[in-house]
A and B are shown apart, each in its own frame.
Chain A
Amino acid sequence: MPSVFLNGKRVNTSEKTLFSAFPKKENTIAILNGFQISEDIELNNDDSIYIIQKGILPPRDELEAMMSARHTPAVHKILKKSKVAVAGLGGLGSNIAISLARIGVGKLFLVDFDIVEPSNLNRQSYYIKHLGMFKTEALKEQLNDINPFIEVKTKNIKISEENAVNLFKDYEIVCEALDNPASKAMLVNTLLINLPKTKIISASGMAGFESSNTIKTEKKMKNLYLCGDYTTPAEPGSGLMAPRVMVCAGHQANMILRLLLGIEKP
């Protein structure tokens, strides 16, 4: 008699297969151990099963369990306990923060001094309704709509050589997502020199519409990972655009995920 978890709660069943125990209906989705199931399958002890009714907002306590249905259970547990700081909330930082919220990173710290402007909308994750708002607030609002079960801390401040260590000293993973090359170098140098335990996931070169395949992730130094094509600056004639910026943001977010799971290889 298998004893399984249904929507996060332990239940016993005398049935041997998924759909005999929990009959398939037209408006339901069945997820077994993080994977959506359409053909019937044998049940084993301690299987994690989610039956989700389409179009119905479940109560808050069940919502979190259902959202985590698509996470690999062991992975989700680690991510929920993790924390990451994102420095700069432009095209890279806003998209990275959204990825990290979706995968359930438990604590995010978002730092930017700027407000949302019309020229940001070509690549940054903000909406017309956010124009004039601090990026920290506009992003926090979106993250809360995506995953209200994580903790989001924000700070409106321009990052400098003087404040960087104090801002990020409690974080072992810091994502550099600034725009200006001198600011990027300042933040990376300041943290590498002063916070020897901190790993930095930085970016350089993601403007224009060159091939996506030239954007890569490399471990450049002991605590420095670098994403991008390393060569294409944002300049007249080669502006920043959503697709390539998001490819680079995806590289950074995936390297952060890997580091959180203890994988140091890019």
Chain B
Amino acid sequence: MKLNGKQFPLPEAVTISDFLKSQNYPDDKVAVELNGEIISRTKFKNITLKDSDEVEIVCFVGGG
């Protein structure tokens, strides 16, 4: 799949929730856009990522 503009090999079908975990992204500090559509955190467990997907993940760090 395409992750943040770059090709990213997806070895197996994985949910957004599990993918975030595998990349050490805390799921309460991210915004996830899948194929141009913003995905609510409540749906992370139900959506499986595919090779053809374009995913954008923004992970926020503290400070303001």
Listed in ascending order, the chain A residues whose CB lies under 8 Å from chain B are 88, 90-93, 177-182, 184-186, 188-189, 192-193, 202-207, 220-222, 224, 226, 228, 230-235, 240, 245
Contacts and interface: CB of A to CB of B under 8 A. Distances in A.
Contacts, number: 85
B38 A193 contact: yes
B33 A88 contact: no
Given A179-B64, A232-B63, 9 more contacts: A181-B62, A184-B64, A192-B38, A193-B38, A203-B64, A204-B59, A220-B58, A230-B61, A245-B64
Interface string B27-43: 01111010010101100
Contacts of A92: 64
Interface of B: 28-31, 33, 36, 38, 40-41, 56, 58-64
Given A181-B29, A185-B29, A185-B30, A204 B60 contact: yes
A182 B63 contact: no
Interface of A is mostly: mixed
A80 B58 CA distance: 33
A179 B61 CA distance: 9
3 shortest A-B CB distances, which residue pairs?
A234-B63, A233-B61, A179-B64
A233 B62 contact: yes
Given A189-B41, A220-B56, A231 B31 contact: no
Given A189-B38, A220-B56, A221-B56, A231 B61 contact: yes
